[in-house]
A and B are shown apart, each in its own frame.
Chain A
Amino acid sequence: MIKASSFGMNFSSEFAEMEQTPWPSEISTSSCSANNSFEHLNLIPSYTPTTSKSFNFNSQAEGSHPRNRSNHQIVKDPNVCWDAKTMLNNLSFLEQKIHNIQGVVHSIVNQKSQISSLPNEFAVQQQVLTTDLTSIIVDLISTAGNLLPSIKNNLFSSNSPPAQSCNSFDPSTQLEADAPFPNHDPPTLEIEKCAGEYNELKKSEDDGREANHIEDHDTKESEDGAETDNLLLGSYEVLQLAKEEILAPHTHFCTICGKGFKRDANLRMHMRGHGEEYKTPAALSKPSKNSEPTLIKRYSCPFVGCKRNKDHKGFQPLKTLLCVKNHYKRTHCDKSYICSKCHSKKFSVLADLKTHEKHCGCDKWLCSCGTTFSRKDKLFGHVALFQGHSPALPSEEGCGLGSSEHVGLEGNGYGFSTNYLNDDVDIKLFDDDRGYLSTLSFEPYEYGVSDDFMKVAFSFMENSPIICPSELSDFGEKKGDSSDSHCML
């Protein structure tokens, strides 16, 4: 969508008139008003109340300027040395925070007194604690820094609460006059230091998060392309789209007829129908990447409180627009796509549904609770986690599973002879229905025995030297037996 606007086409009016989808008024009015590249990206709107509209975003130097610390409790007003009320707020906040940590430490102590359940858990708590303490220290210093305007500048490197204040900081930027630095010399050194420190802090936070990962059930997150790349703070800019932007089905619109497209290339193809001027190679070719090395862009989720939101303490930026879309849909939207096969799995991203449908029904690993799994290790993980759950056998013919395993075994070349294996598989087929071969139903004498064999047998019997009389009488009895009628023994 950024590219579309970079065409320099003014389509706001058409857009407003021929909206194909119900666009919220906010977007059509406020964000599509100018033809600069970021106009309809609400660039950090909530925290830069004084600047947003008047800023010229085309200018990079200024575009990356907004440095908002307002979301944090430490509100800095550059004109006033320090505000007693704010200070009080800050202090009470700090007090509260310390109190919280006290609670955590208490719980750790209690846990330790018992037999520690998981060694991992303790490490995680410690990590969290360290992070919290760090942020308190930072807060404290910054609060104190307000009191001493003379050293404020020196302290800057440490007084900016990491994740919040440095978000959009760009080392290459020239600082605005209203920045809270009395000293106008480009403080590159400090900024670098700041970035470094931020990275360090961030790393420690990441560690903590990693240790915490068990609690993070949204495994899709990593697919959103937002795994923390070690970008220096400020070496990228953070963009945040409104949720309506994210949910819009199309992002590229024809300025003439208003038709929407998902891809810019498709739009360009479409434009050819509107006249000769759109058929020139220049118009058809991909807009050149030309220009100065652009800043790396990273995206923020508009959902407040989400860890992909730039105001979150452990902010993890999203890499691409697609990531933003998928993340927002997966995490903050209803799951409206329902699998047509199992009618139970729901998805908010169509692609996810399609991926699932491809494999739906193939789940052969079944738990006693009814959940199915496509992989054995997933099932076993599930069983290990939940007390009382156990793997279950498929209710009907379970042989499919078993025999496939046997094939695998054969493939491995274990020291079995093929005979051995075949026997085994054959027997397996009878595993379920052994009953049908009960003693009662099985009658060995139902098979006819040829008379010739009888003859031979009889001749032997007559010549046999040591058959005792009882044996013969035994034979006589048996002969009369109806079930043994074919048999002379």
Chain B
Amino acid sequence: MKCSHPPSLPKPITAILSVDLLVRILDHIVDAGDRKSFRLVCDHFLLAESLHRRSLRPLRLKYLPSLLGRRYPSIESLDLSVCHSLDDNSLATAIASGSYWQKLRRVGLARASGVGWKGIEALVTTCPLIEAIDLSHCCEVGDRVAAALAKAAGLRDLRIDKCLGVTDVGLAMVSVGCGRLERLGIKWCMEISDIGIDLLVKKCRNLRVLDLSYLQVTNNSLRAISSLEKFEALSLVGCRFIDDEGLAFLNNGRNSLQSIDISRCQNVTWFGIASVIEGHRNLQIINMGDCHTEVTPAFLSQLSLIKTTLNILKLDGLQISDSGLQNIGSNCNNLIEIGLSKCLGVTDKGIGELVSSCTCLRSIDLTCCHLLTDNVLTAISKYCINLTCLRLEACSLMTEKGFGQIATGCSQLLEIDLTDCSINDIALQHLTKCSELKVLKLGLCANITSKGLAYIGSNCNNLEELDLYRCVEVDDYGLSFLADGCKRLKKLNLCYCIQITNQGLQYLSSLEWLSDLELRGLVNVSSMGITSIAFGCKSLVELDLKGCSSIDDAAMFALARYSLNLRQINISNCSVSGVGLCKLLRTLKCLQDAKLVQLTRTSVEGFEFALRASRCKLKKLKLAGDLMELLSPKLLQMLQARGCRIRWVDKPMLFNSLTIE
């Protein structure tokens, strides 16, 4: 859209808003849609936006040269995790295409399962300034890739979560090569042990953030880590060999630890955490959820040592008495976030005491605290006026009265989880007064009808995520309100809302930004409805059609034609045949994850042909276990070699009767 100014107007908008002013405005525009609108104003705005943009997440590699080379000169951060068919060759070609790669500082390659050490080596040698690389969930990445990474001497931030092939040797190479490393994530790298951590600590003295979750490391690693002087955040989720003795090593107070996450460590008790607190008076975040420990008065009094700094405390799954909650309230006044999900023994009285002292609370998680009633909501609405996030899943004793108070007291609420709270339309009417709501979860609230959705549609214009799982009363008419009012909706869950038909989906097709749509078990929806969704919702990335038994090949053709950005699809139990499947897999270049179980109308040859037609670009595949024998071994080998992980599901499979033996 080009602005053409009639010559009679003396001052065009460009004269008033110079580029640097526009750039300043852009600092405050985060949402992708808003930025798009901004770009479309005029050339001048477009220029400002392209100058301002620092990060890019391209969907297709082939446009990268023109994007990076001409349009966005100041890109520093490039996320290639959603680029389709990314492998060593295409990456090398892209890197060779221009000098702009040399300016890159951050590169994201999460789940880029096709990229190997050659690609990484090319990347690292081409980008001398590179500071951050994300390779998480590239499961087949091994020591050879680590060796390539080690050549990036300036690397500060590295994530190799779930790179299953990385061993101590790989980590050691990275430690030696990247001595300036500050943040490292090696979660789920199951072959890394104490010896690797020890060397890491010796070589990378600037380490600040370390994620060792689910590793087999022992206390010796903690002893080594305790010598790091700049250390700030440690994550030890599910480290079963860590115990209190190890945490006592951190007690030396030599570093400025701010955050510690030891949730799901079986052998850690409150005593170990107390000793950490003893040594680190600046601790801000403690997550000790699901540790097999109890919350003793001694521990709570220890919390008073970090009274001023503690912001986030998570005690999920522990047993806490009323007096314990009262103690937390009096000892930690500055709490911003508290997690009490699945805590036993949490009552109205305790929460009342807690919130009356912690008035800064912004996020409260009370998931599965079954005993809580409206009194809690009254207390929260009275004291926590800044509350933005409230999770009340399965707190079924709460009524519309309480929610009315929440709506008046906590008007800044952004996120509320009411799954399984069996709330009704009246409660929803109250809650929708919080017009800033972005996330609303109403799963399993069978009482909600179109009336409730009308309240949502008319009040919550900023809603981005709505969960209506098994809200069986919801019908097409209700969806029309959503489609009219919540134009920003990105995620929508309508699973098992069985009254919905093609008409409802027709309404939803006006949601331009919808990226995530779950339509499980909607038996009344046919290919027609999916076609309208595919046509209207251009941003669709994830689609779940499991058990929509009326959906056939026509829907696949429509998706193949219009939903070019589709990355994940579940068409298990649909009436899709080999032809539709073939068309889908062949045409959708971005498709990465496909769940294809119990496609009773698809023959084995249909599978074989469709998977071959996909050019093996899929990263994740779910297939019936019987197919393991029936598909050609060469195909399976090819798929796996391209980085595709196949999950075989053992479900009885009925093949298409048209299968010709």
**Residues of A bordering B, CB below 8 Å:** 365, 376-377, 380, 383-384, 388-393, 398, 401-402, 405, 409, 412, 414, 419, 423-424, 426-428, 430-432, 434-435, 437-440, 442, 444-445, 447, 449-450, 452-453, 456-457, 460-461, 464-467, 471, 487, 489
Q: Could you tell me if B143 and A393 are in contact, using CB atoms closer than 8 angstroms? A: yes
Known: A428-B140, A437-B638; 4 extra A-B contacts, CB below 8 A, are A384-B198, A391-B176, A444-B616, A457-B578
CA gap between A412 and B241 in the complex, in Å:
14
Q: Could you tell me if B578 and A453 are in contact, using CB atoms closer than 8 angstroms? A: yes
- CB proximity of A377 to chain B, nearest CB, Å: 6
- CB proximity of A465 to chain B, nearest CB, Å: 7
Q: Could you tell me if A398 and B143 are in contact, using CB atoms closer than 8 angstroms? A: yes
Q: Could you tell me if A380 and B195 are in contact, using CB atoms closer than 8 angstroms? A: yes
Given contacts A414-B190, A431-B116, contact A391 B558 (CB under 8 A): no
Q: Could you tell me if B613 and A434 are in contact, using CB atoms closer than 8 angstroms? A: no
The residue in chain B whose Cβ has the minimal distance to the Cβ of A468 is B561
CA gap between A126 and B631 in the complex, in Å:
74
The residue in chain B whose Cβ has the minimal distance to the Cβ of A452 is B660
- CB proximity of B123 to chain A, nearest CB, Å: 15
- CB proximity of A386 to chain B, nearest CB, Å: 10
Q: Is B89 an interface position by the 8 A CB rule?
A: yes
Q: Could you tell me if A430 and B641 are in contact, using CB atoms closer than 8 angstroms? A: yes
The residue in chain A whose Cβ has the minimal distance to the Cβ of B171 is A391
Q: Is B557 an interface position by the 8 A CB rule?
A: yes
* 5 CB < 8 A contacts A-B: A390-B176, A453-B609, A464-B557, A489-B579, A489-B586
Residues of B with C-beta under 8 A to A444: 612-616
Given contacts A437-B638, A444-B612, contact A424 B89 (CB under 8 A): no
Residues of A with C-beta under 8 A to B198: 380, 384
Q: Which of B167, B168, B606 contacts A453 (CB 8 A)?
A: B606
Q: Which of A391, A426, A440, A467 contacts B169 (CB 8 A)?
A: A391
Q: Is B20 an interface position by the 8 A CB rule?
A: no
Q: Could you tell me if B140 and A471 are in contact, using CB atoms closer than 8 angstroms? A: no
Q: Is B150 an interface position by the 8 A CB rule?
A: yes
Residues of B with C-beta under 8 A to A389: 176
Given contacts A380-B172, A380-B195, contact A424 B165 (CB under 8 A): yes
Q: Could you tell me if B553 and A464 are in contact, using CB atoms closer than 8 angstroms? A: yes
Q: Could you tell me if A434 and B143 are in contact, using CB atoms closer than 8 angstroms? A: no
Q: Could you tell me if B88 and A426 are in contact, using CB atoms closer than 8 angstroms? A: no
- CB proximity of B479 to chain A, nearest CB, Å: 23
Q: Could you tell me if A489 and B613 are in contact, using CB atoms closer than 8 angstroms? A: yes
- CB proximity of A313 to chain B, nearest CB, Å: 34
Q: Which of B114, B168, B172, B632 contacts A447 (CB 8 A)?
A: B632
The residue in chain B whose Cβ has the minimal distance to the Cβ of A390 is B176
CA gap between A431 and B195 in the complex, in Å:
24
Q: Which of B142, B190, B557, B586 contacts A471 (CB 8 A)?
A: B557
Residues of B with C-beta under 8 A to A383: 172, 176, 199
Q: Could you tell me if A405 and B191 are in contact, using CB atoms closer than 8 angstroms? A: yes
- CB proximity of B147 to chain A, nearest CB, Å: 6
- CB proximity of A445 to chain B, nearest CB, Å: 7
Residues of A with C-beta under 8 A to B63: none
Q: Which of A430, A453, A465 contacts B554 (CB 8 A)?
A: A465
Residues of B with C-beta under 8 A to A439: 85, 87, 89-90, 615
Q: Could you tell me if A456 and B658 are in contact, using CB atoms closer than 8 angstroms? A: yes
Given contacts A405-B191, A424-B140, A445-B612, contact A460 B577 (CB under 8 A): yes
CA gap between A116 and B203 in the complex, in Å:
19
The residue in chain B whose Cβ has the minimal distance to the Cβ of A450 is B605
- CB proximity of B186 to chain A, nearest CB, Å: 15
Q: Which of B142, B554, B561, B660 contacts A431 (CB 8 A)?
A: B142
Q: Is B39 an interface position by the 8 A CB rule?
A: no
CA gap between A442 and B639 in the complex, in Å:
11
Q: Could you tell me if B199 and A471 are in contact, using CB atoms closer than 8 angstroms? A: no
Q: Which of A390, A414, A465 contacts B150 (CB 8 A)?
A: A390
